[in-house]
Amino acid sequence: MASDAIIPFRVSIPQEEIDDLRQRLTRARWPEKEPVGDWSQGVPLARLKALVDHWRDHYDWRRCEAALNANPNYKTEIDGLDIHFIHRRSSRADAIPILMTHGWPGSVVELLGVIEALAEPEDPGVPAFHVIAPSLPGYGFSGRPAETGWNHEHIARAWAELMRRLGYESWVAQGGDWGAVVTITLATHAPRGLKGVHLNMAVIYPPADMETPTPEEQKVIDDLKWHVKWDSAYQRVQGTRPQTLGYSLSDSPVGQAAWIYEKCYAWTDNDGEPEQALSMDQMLDNISLYWFTNTGGSSARLYWELGDGFTPGQVDLPVGVSLFPREILRPSRRWVDRYWSHVAYWKAVDRGGHFAAWEEPDLFVAEMRACFGLEAFR
């Protein structure tokens, strides 16, 4: 394709790949049952077997494919890499262009439940949005980088170029997880046209010189310590040996399912059952996307690209933050104010976890309308 061309794209997985998946699931070799009675060693055998049985015997990928194709999909080449994105334009003349970036282990599937409501609200008095939702490099239907260097800084520059190509002269950005890192990097760069950003995960850690923490801040600190000790092995593996991990994720759909299913348990707002937050079909939509695009390894490399970690830069553009109670990182306002001079919207909501738009689509849409309806973002 020409270097700046925008080409329509349609998701279409060959039937033989779907048949191959079912055959692999039928031939799965299982480890012994875990010697504990909970998730402390990882996904319990019985839970994963139930998920895989549903995947093999009842799950319908064509339904997910149709949901993806219900939105206009495109590809464009930026810096030598094909970037896939959904571009759902609103019928409203006053619609706000919003660039929405997913994270790991997510994909644009996370956003399918909010795109239409954002683009075509029933109430003419609330904001409408032109939704632009790209797949991160190495994720989903975007290209897989063949060279190093596609880190969050590079992605932020590519996203600014994407918005320029689409002809948007005034726009906002939103993200969680990796999407939050990319979105804050965009805000730090402040490219032409960017009016402000919203985050459902504010990537601000407790400051080293912090005064005596409040009880709420201490709870966040304690939760982070637990996360680092017990729930961050994925980050160390993906950040140091993504290629080694990729062999297993590329060859075993059961392994790919377990790698993501565990995070659906650990990071959603549930009482011990991930299916309380996301249905089996919802989780398998995302797992299947990773499997059919063979991006388990390439998506992991983004952690390697981060290197020594992410340090937020100074942001002077308007920032909105929605704090979901089961999010991994929930900084206090005074931590955030050290870096971001204009926090125009700040709200703690009463439910939801790391995958905000996926878990709580109605609440997420309401937060987007409340935040970007403010004069500060115009």
Q: Which residues are catalytic?
A: 177, 303, 354
* Residue 71, SS3 per DSSP: coil
Q: The tokens of 91 are what? A: 């019928």
Lookup result for tokens 């064509």: 62
Q: Are strands 194-199 and 171-175 parallel, antiparallel or unpaired?
A: parallel
The DSSP call for residue 309 is -
d(CA 72, CA 85): 9
What are 61's two structure tokens?
A: 């990928």
Q: CA–CA separation, 19 vs 325, rounded Å?
A: 40
Q: Provide the b/e sequence for 121-152 (b: ≥16 CB within 10 Å).
A: beeeeebbbbbbbbbbbbbbbbbbbeeeebbb
Identify whether the C-beta of residue 131 lies closer than 8 Å to the C-beta of residue 173. no
The single residue listed with the structure tokens 């009880």 is 215
In single-letter form, the type of residue at position 232 comes to: S
d(CA 309, CA 312): 10
Do the beta carbons of residue 83 and residue 137 sit within 8 Å?
yes
Token output for 103: 């994270």
Whether residue 105 has a cis bond before it, omega within 30° of 0: yes
Dihedral (C-alpha) 175, 69, 285, 16: value to the nearest 10 degrees? Answer: -140
The CA-based diameter of the chain, rounded to the nearest angstrom, is: 60
Structure token pair of residue 311:
């340090």
